[in-house]
Amino acid sequence: MDTSATATRIAVIGVGNDYRRDDGVGRAVVTRLAQRGQYRPLSRGVTLMCTDGEPTRLIGAWEDVRLAVIVDAAHARPARPGRVHRLRLRLRLRLDGDLPQTRWGETSSHGFALGDAVRLARALGRLPGALLVYAVEAADTRLGTGLSPPVAAAVGPLVQRIEEDLVRHAPAVGETGLLAPAPRHTAR
């Protein structure tokens, strides 16, 4: 069933594992968005969530959404830890063919192939209207907590970039934007 015409939600999905160092970057970005949302609330149409990247859970997270924004750690050769790659797929328009190859390949830092999840969702009729992927090159995905310095430094600018994407993809009717303006305080 094609739900792209009726889907109004936008899902920002952090993929990863907090106990594998830089693999937790997706969760760190979603956490920061939630914290910023306390001061500049996201509209009712935006959902923030985290998953370990298992394909059926990922498909469930993006089902019936107009836009899914995925944030995940990735490996690249040669590696530049903290470098962010952006890939936008209009999945409803690409019902034939394979997921395009990216500079970092299709495998995230924890071994699931995003392309496999997309192909499965396509076969099940459970694709989002569009998919925006941010892959952050990881330095260290061994067991442990905390992001490496270059990956941690990428979180703030990436959060800002995603906020800009959310504003750009806001529904045109009935909303002024997905992010409410920060409250103004005036001295009296």
For the ranges 32-46, 72-86, 88-102, the lowest mean pLDDT is seen at 88-102
Closest by CA position to 67, among listed 46, 40, 43: 46
Q: Give the pLDDT confidence score for residue 40 in this predicted structure.
A: 73
What is this structure's pTM?
Answer: 0.78
Report the sign of the C-alpha dihedral through residues 64, 66, 58, 147, in that order.
negative
Whether residue 2 lies inside any domain: the answer is no
Report DSSP state, residue 130: E
Per-residue pLDDT, 4: 43
For residue 84, the domain's CATH number is: 3.40.50.1450
Distance from C-alpha of 127 to C-alpha of 146, rounded to nearest angstrom? 32
In three-state secondary structure terms, 39 is coil
105: its two tokens: 């390949």
**CA separation for the pair 161, 60 (Å, rounded):** 25
Q: Flag whether 93 is in a domain.
A: yes
Three-state secondary-structure class, residue 13: strand
Is the separation of the CB atoms in 91 and 128 below 8 Å?
A: yes
Its domain, for residue 110, covers 9-168
Question: Is pLDDT above 90 for 97?
Answer: no
- Identify the pLDDT of residue 19: 95
Tell me the pLDDT tens digit for each residue of 54-94: 899 999 999 889 999 999 999 888 889 999 999 987 665 44
Percentage of the residues of the chain whose pLDDT score is greater than 90: 48
At 52-65, the pLDDT tens digits run 988 999 999 998 89
Q: Is 43 part of any domain? A: yes
Residue 92 confidence (pLDDT): 53
Q: With beta carbons less than 8 A apart as the criterion, state whether 40 and 96 touch.
A: no
Instruction: Show the beta-strand stretches assigned E in 16-99.
Output: 46-51, 65-74, 84-89
Number of domains in the chain: 1
Residue 185 covered by a domain: no
Residue 76 lies in a domain: yes
